[in-house]
Structure 1
């Protein structure tokens, strides 16, 4: 899979200051809204629109099980794989995240050339 990489922070420290532990932040990356979550295991990028009814996951809370919980109907999405924890709706997309010397990057899947 080919990705285009988009810099969202200058470094990991800045990212963790902007998104404190157990918190989320809405990011706009190349026209997509992405929820960045800071867990004890590190940073995770997941689609912001809840697959159930589209509400912003970045307005939700993080559970102790590394799930983001939608504030509307409490649907829970694993930050490890995007699966909805009770299998009631579609899974959320997890975006690859890379921490490099030059910054923190989120990968968006490139559309194949036609």
Structure 2
């Protein structure tokens, strides 16, 4: 029994129409949430707007040579696929599902169905 549903929101028709910053990141408003998008090796990733450590705006950071997201405040590094902190501090970055479909780019947010827990 799965307790989670994913609600999908269209971000754009394609990644080329998005207003990427020079660091290949941008802030997007999706489904009422502010998130960060990044393009790494021609693949789009979606994750939290702010760093879980000290709330640095991640779109103001950069992508390092190995493809990690780097916070602008304290240089904490995160794997864009699973959100794991790779510089050793133990934090996890919230990562969102993202799909590039024929109809466009979609970001998915997990929603928990709390009613089903009590059935």
**TM interval, short-chain normalised:** 0.7 to 0.9
Q: CA RMSD in A?
A: 1.8
The C-alpha deviation readout for 1:43-77, integer Å capped at 9, x for no partner, is: 11111110101111111011111111111111111
> Rg bigger for which structure?
2
TM-score, normalising length from structure 1?
0.87
| Separation in 1, partners of 2:12, 2:36 | 14
List, as ranges, runs of 4+ consecutive aligned residues in structure 1 with deviation greater than 6 Å: none
Q: What's 1:91 paired with?
A: 92
| Separation in 1, partners of 2:43, 2:13 | 16
The question of whether the paired residues in 2 share the 8 Å contact of 1:22 and 1:39 is answered with no
| Separation in 2, partners of 1:97, 1:35 | 12
Alpha-carbon shift at residue 12 of structure 1 (Å):
3.5
* Unaligned ranges ≥5, structure 1: none
Aligned residues: 112
Name the SS for the 2:112 alignment partner.
coil
Match of 1:3 among 6, 29, 37: 6
Q: What's 2:73 paired with?
A: 72
| Separation in 1, partners of 2:16, 2:73 | 31
Name the SS for the 2:17 alignment partner.
helix
| Separation in 2, partners of 1:113, 1:72 | 36
The C-alpha deviation readout for 1:7-37, integer Å capped at 9, x for no partner, is: 010123324xx32685100111122221100
- Give the direction of change, closer, same or farther, for the CA distance of 1:65–1:21 in structure 2 (3 Å limit): farther
